[in-house]
A = this chain, B = another copy of it.
Amino acid sequence: MSPPQRKQRVAVIGSGNWGSTIAKIVAENTKAHPDIFEEEVRMWVFEEDIQIPESSKHRKQLGDQTYKLTQVINKVHENVKYLPGITLPGNVVANPDLPATVKDATLLIFNLPHQFISKTLDQIKGHHLPYARGISCIKGVDVSDGTVTLYSELIMEKLGIYCGALSGANIATEVAAERFCETTIGYDPPPMDLNKPHSAPEDNLIKIDVQRQKKSKATRIHLEPMPQEYPHVDSTLFEDLFERPYFHVHCVRDVAAVALGGALKNIIALAAGFVVGKEWGENGKAAIIRLGVLEMVRFGRYWFPKSVEERTFTEESAGIADLVASCSAGRNFRSACHAAEKGVSVDEIEKTELNGQMLQGTSTAYAVRDFLAKNDQLEEFPLFVSVHGILEGTAKIDDLPALVSKKRTARS
Interface on A for B, CB 8 Å cutoff? 169-171, 174-175, 179-182, 243, 245-246, 248-250, 275, 279-287, 289-290, 293-294, 297, 310-311, 314-317, 320-322, 324-325, 328-329, 400-402, 405-406, 411
Contacts and interface: CB of A to CB of B under 8 A. Distances in A.
A287 B179 CA distance: 11
A368 B182 CA distance: 26
Given A290-B320, A321-B290, A324-B289, A175 B314 contact: no
Contacts of A284: 174, 179-181
Given A180-B287, A250-B406, A322-B286, A315 B328 contact: no
A400 B248 CA distance: 12
Contacts of A281: 171, 174, 179, 181, 329
B401 A286 contact: no
Most chain B beta-carbon neighbours within 10 Å: one of A280, A281, A329:
A281
Majority secondary structure of chain A interface residues (helix, strand, loop or mixed): helix
A311 B314 CA distance: 8
A275 to B, nearest CB: 7
Contacts of A289: 320-321, 324
Contacts of A182: 283, 286-287, 290, 406
Most chain B beta-carbon neighbours within 10 Å: one of A181, A286, A314, A405:
A286
